[in-house]
Chains A and B, each alone.
Chain A
Amino acid sequence: MRNILTICGKELRAYFASPIAYLLIAFFGLIFGFFFYSATAYFVNAGLRQSMMGGGGQPMSVNEYVIAPLLGNASVVGLFLIPLISMRLFAEEKRTGTIELLLTSPVRDWEIILGKWLGAMVMYICVLAISMANIALLFAWGQPDWRPILTGYLGLILQGGCVLAIGAFISTTTRNQIIAGGATFAICLLLWVLSWVSSYNDAGWAQAVAYCSILTHFEPFSKGIIDTKDIVFYLSAIFLGLFLTSRSLESLRWRA
């Protein structure tokens, strides 16, 4: 456990010692802020129109019209940002040779992997955290239900963990960060668009393909639904990613 935390701390420090952490937080804050503005503007407009029409019917829900689409957008933006977090995990150490220090220290491979993955997770959570500023505004001027927000963030974290695990694996396969980032990005994109298949095809295989999309599993979270099937999907994807990472790290030794 101590080794994991040591490596996790070192990773975090590396992120915050370079501009990458601040850039990611700034960009995510900017993009999320824009989405937040459009979602609330639309909501206010629609609300005004509803009251002018006589104010009949149910009041519009902030959760449904603002928070759910906002978190949905955040999960897509996350797919674009996460490769930037994961690409350096192993590729950089391979390029500078510091991987030799890690692999010749009395530390187990899985401790290295878990430490690095956790470090990347904390970095990702820091990026997500900036969006809380916008959500706080909703609480200041409205009464949104806090529970779907919580599950939404849980979903974002799980989804991020799973992409980071895949990114960590890809990062072990190259010493070039750009390649690692690019490949992870391509896979993220693919995992996103897989969900589109089910919209034009009802066949069983199409459903199966759509099931593999990480975004399909995010939707329920943004609506406040925690389904075991989604949690299991994310956890097994994280496990698979980290398992592949450990195999790949081991093969580094054998193939040299």
Chain B
Amino acid sequence: MIKVEGLTKRYARNIAVKNISFEVGKGEIVGFLGKNGAGKTTTMRVLTCFLPPTSGKANVAGFDVVEQSLEVKKHIGYLPETPPLYPEMEVADYLSFVAKLKGIPSGEIGRRVDEVCERTSIGGVKKTIIGKLSKGYRQRVGIAQAIIHNPPVLILDEPTSGLDPEQQREARTLIASLSGDHTIILSTHILSEVEQSCSSVIIINNGEIVAVDSVANLHHRGRANEIISVEVVGASPVSVRQRLEQVPGVARVVSRDARDGAAAFDVEALENTFVRPHLARAIVESGWDLTELKVVGESLEEIFLELTRSEKTEGELVAAQ
């Protein structure tokens, strides 16, 4: 659905995006992850035909962003970082204005406006002036405006930024509900968001792609050994530690801070061993209470930091957002 090849965007003083290539298939939700200034917004602006690329090709829904920009624009719904709202307009008026701009026939506009209002749950504020809406509602109107012409491709630039946790959750649910019909690229610097709503991730740093992978694969990246967090009640930490170290397949035991009366450890297993049942049995057979036993994966956060740290070469490039 989206194909980017060797895309470079150079501004007067810096290069925002350097020779990036990636592909997004139909129906996928891709998280575009990077620090502020990494080149996310620039890439999105090129895809939406707002900015022309300096070199390289980008293809959306089968159309080239430079040669066939009008066609690309018809097939894309775009929510910029700040929702493009006219504060003096009523929500319904604004949506019908956008619908007209996107070329929806006059007869269908009313129906489409009702549909997107229902989908984004803004039916109750249809007659409200946009300037009086809360931030969460504005973001929803922004999303409604992006999907009003039912585009096959949706590009959302930081759709949850500036929302409170409750609103963020709602926005994520809304985005996830759109995934069936649309191919979605959403940019963010919030990692948990990617874990929750995206099928794959593109990590971008200093204008270059450092990783393209599915969320599941990224989790397994970086570390081969399993780490298990164990918490035991009813024994001294020293004796628990000694017992755990004797369990076959355990490579290392590191103690952790724990609440009163409990002993907690991170147990690192040897490669390709299945150590959890042995740990449990060892603790229970010693007469202690096992209160926690779980696998600790490497968080996406750590992977992200690792990837973006190791790629800092070729001088400092500060890309304009």
Q: How large is the interface on A (under 10, 10 to 19, 20 to 34, 35 or more residues)?
A: 20 to 34
**Which residue of A10, A13, A104 contacts B50 across the interface (Cβ within 8 Å)?**
A104
**B85 near A107 (CB under 8 angstroms)?**
no
**Residues from chain A with Cβ under 8 Å of B74 in the complex:** 106
**Residues from chain A with Cβ under 8 Å of B71 in the complex:** 106
B26 within 8 A of A: no
Q: How far is the CA of A97 from the CA of B158 in the complex (A)?
A: 15
User: What is the CB-to-nearest-CB distance from A256 to chain B, in angstroms, rounded to a whole number?
Assistant: 5
User: What is the CB-to-nearest-CB distance from A66 to chain B, in angstroms, rounded to a whole number?
Assistant: 39
> Would A2 and B51 be within 8 Å (CB), given that A101-B145, A105-B73 are in contact?
no
Q: Which of B96-104, B180-188, B217-225 contacts A (4 or more CB under 8 A)?
A: B96-104
**B88 near A104 (CB under 8 angstroms)?**
no
Q: How far is the CA of A215 from the CA of B320 in the complex (A)?
A: 45
**A97 near B82 (CB under 8 angstroms)?**
yes
Q: How far is the CA of A101 from the CA of B148 in the complex (A)?
A: 13
**Which residue of B49, B51, B81 contacts A256 across the interface (Cβ within 8 Å)?**
B51
B238 within 8 A of A: no
**A253 near B51 (CB under 8 angstroms)?**
yes
> Would A104 and B49 be within 8 Å (CB), given that A14-B86, A98-B84, A98-B86 are in contact?
yes
A236 within 8 A of B: no
> Would A6 and B70 be within 8 Å (CB), given that A101-B84, A104-B78, A105-B102 are in contact?
no
Closest partner residue, chain A, to B42 (CB atom) = A256
A254 within 8 A of B: yes
User: What is the CB-to-nearest-CB distance from B127 to chain A, in angstroms, rounded to a whole number?
Assistant: 14
Q: How many A-B residue pairs have CB under 8 A?
A: 74
B76 within 8 A of A: yes
**Residues from chain B with Cβ under 8 Å of A3 in the complex:** 100-101
Decide if the interface of chain A is mainly helix, strand, loop or mixed: helix
**Residues from chain B with Cβ under 8 Å of A108 in the complex:** 70
Q: How far is the CA of A55 from the CA of B74 in the complex (A)?
A: 74
Closest partner residue, chain A, to B97 (CB atom) = A10
**B50 near A103 (CB under 8 angstroms)?**
yes
User: What is the CB-to-nearest-CB distance from A184 to chain B, in angstroms, rounded to a whole number?
Assistant: 22
**B52 near A253 (CB under 8 angstroms)?**
yes
Interface positions, chain A 57-107, Cβ under 8 Å from B, are: 96-107
**Residues from chain A with Cβ under 8 Å of B97 in the complex:** 6, 10
**Residues from chain A with Cβ under 8 Å of B76 in the complex:** 104
User: What is the CB-to-nearest-CB distance from A187 to chain B, in angstroms, rounded to a whole number?
Assistant: 27
**B12 near A100 (CB under 8 angstroms)?**
no
B48 within 8 A of A: yes
User: What is the CB-to-nearest-CB distance from B37 to chain A, in angstroms, rounded to a whole number?
Assistant: 14
**B70 near A13 (CB under 8 angstroms)?**
no
**Residues from chain A with Cβ under 8 Å of B50 in the complex:** 100, 103-104, 253
**B101 near A96 (CB under 8 angstroms)?**
no
B80 within 8 A of A: yes
**Residues from chain B with Cβ under 8 Å of A102 in the complex:** 101
**B70 near A106 (CB under 8 angstroms)?**
yes
**Residues from chain B with Cβ under 8 Å of A107 in the complex:** 73, 101
> Would A101 and B98 be within 8 Å (CB), given that A14-B86, A106-B70, A255-B12 are in contact?
yes
**Could you give 26 example pairs across A and B, Cβ below 8 Å?**
A2-B100, A3-B100, A3-B101, A10-B86, A10-B97, A13-B88, A96-B85, A96-B87, A97-B81, A97-B84, A98-B85, A99-B84, A100-B45, A101-B84, A102-B101, A103-B50, A104-B50, A104-B76, A105-B73, A105-B98, A105-B102, A106-B101, A253-B50, A253-B52, A256-B11, A256-B51
